[in-house]
Amino acid sequence: MEHSVVSHIPDQICIMSEDKRRGDDVEDGGPGLVYMPFVIMEELLDKLRLLDYERDFSRKMNMKPISRHYFAIPTNPGEQFYMFSSLAAWLLRLAGRNFEQPQEYDDPNATVSSILDEVKKFGHSIDFPPSRLKQGCGEHCIYVLDRLSDEALKHTGFRWNRPDYPEEELDEEQVIEDDSELTLGEVEKTMMQIQEGSKPEEILESTTDAADWKLEVERVLPQLKVTIRPDNKDWRIHVDQMHQHKDGIESALTETPLVKIKQAIQQLKKENQQNDIRIGVVEHVLLQAKLKDKTSQNKQAHSSGPNQDTFDYSAY
């Protein structure tokens, strides 16, 4: 079974970094050593996937697949220890050992001792107390499973091949420069050399006809292609960029939210003034209507008053 991988670390590198995986053996490992169990746990999960543990272990044992940080973070000690012991027994059987599947209610001390004995038979050193494995998680559990997964891969004929790196394509900026392209610095350098050159001893006179010269210029003009590529280190480019940024900032400030809010407030004030004028007109009209009604009522009262107060003296 041969695989060509890019994302996996070769087996030789894993063995060389074996001492760095256990924090107790390395004193000056740096602050990143605390997160080493998470890295090794991810590598362990990749190895288990190469061994098809989801099909041959999880489905047959009726267990959920583990997460990439399952044994690096303590969650449920009982569940994690049973998963650790079951996974270790499965890896031992893949490595060619006759190891019985541990049960949930077996003695944890006996189970741990049996697993460590098999690990020692493979030639791996165990320099930590067996009680560290009873927690079911941590760097020591990850170390044991990682060693057993390596032995299982070896027994199944797995072999790490050299990684296949993709060919990097050149960016558009990394284009081969044409001979006709000149930088601004080269143009200035050439002009300075011309100015510093020796002056002719006598005035040069041309014997070429002007008409022939114009024809020759028109003939070779399409071939004279000189592209001056701007140099990013030139101070003139930086000055132009500063002016562009200044204009952009000024144009942006003219359209700031504060200016828009001020314009909206002025518009509201203008609308309020118009509403006040309309309200005043309506009030004036209503007041005139009330006065008109009052005047008409008074006229009716005066006109009907003498008829009501008239007394008939002829009856006496």
Digitized pLDDT (tens) for each residue of the chain, 316 residues in all? 444 433 343 343 343 344 444 444 444 556 778 888 899 999 989 889 888 888 888 888 888 888 888 998 889 888 889 899 999 999 999 888 888 888 888 888 899 999 999 888 888 888 888 888 888 899 999 999 999 998 988 888 877 778 888 887 655 555 445 544 555 666 667 777 766 655 556 667 777 788 888 888 888 888 777 666 666 677 778 888 888 988 888 877 776 667 778 888 999 999 999 999 999 888 988 998 888 888 888 888 877 655 544 445 454 4
Q: Rounded distance, CA 149 to CA 161, Å?
A: 17
- The DSSP code sequence of 247-314 is HHHHHHHTT-HHHHHHHHHHHHHHHHHHHHHHHHHHHHHHHHHHHHHHHHHHHHHHHHHHHHH---GG
- DSSP single-letter state for residue 51: T
Give the pLDDT confidence score for residue 170 in this predicted structure.
59
CA gap 137, 38 in Å, rounded: 11
Q: Reduced to 3 DSSP states, what percent helix, strand and coil does the chain have, rounded to the nearest 5?
A: 60, 5, 35
Residue in 138, 131, 83 with CA at minimum distance from that of residue 108:
131
Q: What is the model's pLDDT at position 228?
A: 64
What's phi and psi for 181, nearest 5 deg? Answer: -85, 130
Determine the Cα–Cα distance for residues 115 and 83; give it in Å rounded to an integer.
13
What is this structure's pTM? 0.45
